Structures are given as C-alpha cells and as structure tokens.
Structure 1
Amino acid sequence: MLGIPYASSVGSIQYAIQCTRLDVSYASSVMSRYQAYAGEAHWSMVKIILKYLRRTKDIFLIYGFVFKLNGGVVAWKSSKQATTADSTTESEYIATTEATKEAVWMKNYIQELGVVPSIAEPVIIFCDNNGAIAQAKELRSHHRSKYILRRFLPSTSA
C-alpha cells in the first residue's frame, strides 16, 4: 500500500465529520482502525466513503428549533430545509429566519390569549453559527453571503 494516501484520505473524512457530516462517523471510525495495516479492501472502502461524500454534499439539511416559555417547552419543530444552501452560514441563517418567523407568530398568539403576563418581554433567539450571527447583526453584501435568497433577508422598504 505504498504511495496510497490512505491516512490522508481518512483524515479528510474525519475533517468532514468535524464540520458537518456526522452521517459517516461510524464508517470513518472503522476505517481509522486499519491505518497501520490497510489493505486493498480498506482503500476501496475509503474511496467509497469519499465518493458518497462528494455525491451527497448538497442533498439536504435538517434544522430545528424549540420554544420554551417560563422554563417549559411549548412548541418545537424539526424539518428538512426546503432550500439547498451553499454554506453552513446560509443554512443556519435560513433556519434562524424560520425560527424567528415562528417565534413572532407564537408571541402574538400567546399575547392575544392574555394568559402569560411575561410575554411582552423580547424573544431571545440562540444561534450557534458565527457567520449567521454576523449577517443578522449587520446586513451587508459580502462575497460569501450575497447569494442568500432575498426571501430570507429582512425588507428595507416601508
């Protein structure tokens, strides 16, 4: 197996797992066991994993959110994202937009019911993607974020 980049390829798969692709973590852990004594069958499996990653890079993303009120869960959603995103920032921004729209609706609904006096407080949205947070705080046209669909950006017209 001299000259075959087995360890480098397994490392590339592990990098993909760390970033976004948890779906191949088990296969990667199995292939990692054979780095010292890899054979042709192992190399074939690594190539299959790499081909799978290449073929499925833009299949879909599952996003979700949970709404808590006074410490209890009142609503939650887990759904396949309808739009294929080009980056994790775009994907997280779209998911956060969907959660925000739902939060506004829910806040208005609960406020109309008049059963929770603390509903007048601002809604806090948590997001774990620095790029999406920066985009939400300061809307700017950036070469990496200029392709976010207009329907996910707030309207500037009155």
Structure 2
Amino acid sequence: MLPELASFKDALKLEEWIQAMNEELMALEKTDMWDICSLPPGKHAIGCKWVYKLKLLSNGCLERYKARLVAKGYTQQAGVDFVDTFSPVAKMTTVKTLLAVSAAKNWSLTQLDISNGTWMKKST
C-alpha cells in the first residue's frame, strides 16, 4: 500500500500529489474561498498547511490522491482571532435513525460527496 505523506517537500516529488494540490487550489479559487487583503494593525495572519490522504475504494484499491489546504486553527486565540466557531457534523445516532426509518419505509437514499463546491450524487 502507498504511504500517506506528511510534508509538502515530499509531495512535490510525485506528479499525482502535485495534481491533487492543483485541483484543491482551483476549487478554492472557483468558490471564492478567500480575498487578498491587508491585515489590521497589530494582527497576524493564521498560517496553513497541506494535508494529504489516499482515498481508497471499498476493495482497498486506490481511488484518488486527495490534498487539502487547511488553516492552522490551533494558533488562534479565542476573542482575538475568532469569536464563534461552527462546524456542521451529523451525529451517528441521527444517521442510524435516518437509515432505520428509510429501511422500514422502503425509501431510496441519496448520498452527496461534497468537495469544495462540487458534488457527486450516489443513489442506492
């Protein structure tokens, strides 16, 4: 099995990771994820880093290389760099309940795989 990377320097050695990083940057630009601006006096920029993951098919074969550019949120200070946080996450009990009701009522299910403004629909 291929190893996941831990550094940008290592990623630059493989065309597959370079392509994955380019796809991430294009998706971020396409969705207007950021604006270039000046920082207010006395403020500092929050850095970012690349995170690399191999996405596998259910049979264990490689599906794709996935690179994400993430903010180094651990450098932020509450009340200084941010006030509120919000991250929508489905609780597992909610997912299980939805699946149980769907099975009992013979409903079809649709899954959305969302990736920076693009999505792929999977029906079952």
TM-score bracket for this pair, using the shorter chain length: under 0.3
Q: Which structure shows the bigger proportion of residues in helix conformation?
A: 1
Normalization by structure 1: what TM-score? Answer: 0.20
Whose RCO is larger (CA < 8 A, sep 6+)? Answer: 2
For the pair shown, the structure with the greater C-alpha radius of gyration is 1
Q: Which structure shows the bigger proportion of residues in strand conformation?
A: 2
